[in-house]
Amino acid sequence: MSKSITENTSRFWVRCTPEQYRQIKEMAKNAGVTVGEMALMKLLNLQLDYEEEIIDHPTTKTLKDGTEKKYSRRYVSRKKILVPAGE
């Protein structure tokens, strides 16, 4: 499993005009990413990918007669990751 891009991170600031910021924000919105992810994608030639993971959530329910019934629900967790373009 790939490490999240938010693990062990640093910040950087970019000075731009309000119009430039609006354009970058619009580009990010259209791509379905944050402004920071858009900056990384453009600066480091990265592309958006998704990592899916199946998560089991076991649940125990007590019925009216006092017996317990066990259920298990499966969910698919989809996490955004940035990978080098072309992979």
Segment 4-49, tens digit of pLDDT: 555 778 888 999 999 999 999 999 999 999 999 999 999 999 999 9
Number of domains in the chain: 1
Residue 60 neighbours by CB under 8 Å, 6+ apart: 68, 69, 70, 71
**7 assigned to some structural domain:** no
Segment 51-76, tens digit of pLDDT:
999 999 899 989 999 899 998 988 89
* 49 contacts 83 by C-beta, under 8 angstroms: yes
| Residue 16 confidence (pLDDT) | 94
- Structural domain that includes position 77: 18-84
Q: Is the pLDDT of residue 3 over 60?
A: no
**46 assigned to some structural domain:** yes
**69 assigned to some structural domain:** yes
| Residue 10 confidence (pLDDT) | 85
